[in-house]
Amino acid sequence: MKTILVASSKGGAGKTTIATNLAAHFALEGRRTVLVDADPQGSSTRWAERRAELESAVLPIDASGRRAWRTWLPDDAERVVIDAAAGAMADDLDGFLDHVDAIVVPVQPSALDIEATVNFLNTLAKVPRVHKRKLPVGLVINRSKPWTNASQQALEMLKAWPYPVVAQLRDTQAYVVLAGLGRSLFDYRSAQVREHQADWEPLLKWIKKA
């Protein structure tokens, strides 16, 4: 069983978008996939409920306020994606950090998001597994507009950090539309969608190695 934690201290960074699309990808691969929703807003849970009729359904587990979330995992779970609560710092994640194989941190290419993420990563750096490089942390630039100076400058700034930038996800309204349907980019095969699916390949490869 491989467990991925998606976390960010900045609301609106795209945490739930990344968590749900990862869960859908794993399910479409034929993996028994669980989506642990630790955010009181419950967005991931509602997404999974909308997906319940598909063969690639994802099992949602409500972990908001529940530290014993692992007792709810089915024995045959192969992939677990955790959507952390918005605004959580490392101390708020201690119920998860001992049990995950990798942490994905979404960052929007803006000064405010980068500043907030620095504080979050500073708290993560104090976690023993992270400090000893036994728990990989990967940054994902979300809602990127690669042709803009802001996105290019953000990428250069993030490359100087000790954690790798493992993907850049381009900005598109498709994520918003698909979330409302309980779907993901990986449920479709149009040429336009495939271009955005390609953005995820570096992240998926990084997770596979984690």
Is residue 6 within 8 A of residue 18, CB to CB? The reply is: yes
Average pLDDT, integer, range 73-92: 93
DSSP designation for 188? -
pLDDT digits (tens, 9 = 90+) for 45-63: 999 999 999 999 999 999 9
Q: How many domains does the chain have?
A: 1
Its domain, for residue 155, covers 2-209
Dig out the tokens for 71 from the structure. Answer: 């007792």
> Quick check: 66 pLDDT over 70?
no
Q: How many CA atoms lie within 13 A of 96 on its CB side?
A: 30
Domain of residue 89, CATH code: 3.40.50.300
Q: For position 200, what pLDDT does the model report? A: 97
Question: What percent of the chain has pLDDT above 70?
Answer: 99
Is residue 21 within 8 A of residue 184, CB to CB? The reply is: yes
Q: Which residues contact 4 (CB under 8 A, 6 or more apart)?
A: 22, 79, 80, 81, 82, 100, 101, 102, 103, 104, 207, 210
Dig out the tokens for 196 from the structure. Answer: 């955005």
Q: What is the pTM of this model?
A: 0.93
> Quick check: 137 pLDDT over 80?
yes
Residue that has been written with the tokens 């942490």 in this structure: 103
Q: How confident is the model at residue 84 (pLDDT cuts 50, 70, 90)?
A: very high
Question: What percent of the chain has pLDDT above 90?
Answer: 65
- Identity of residue 127: V
pLDDT digits (tens, 9 = 90+) for 70-79: 989 999 999 9
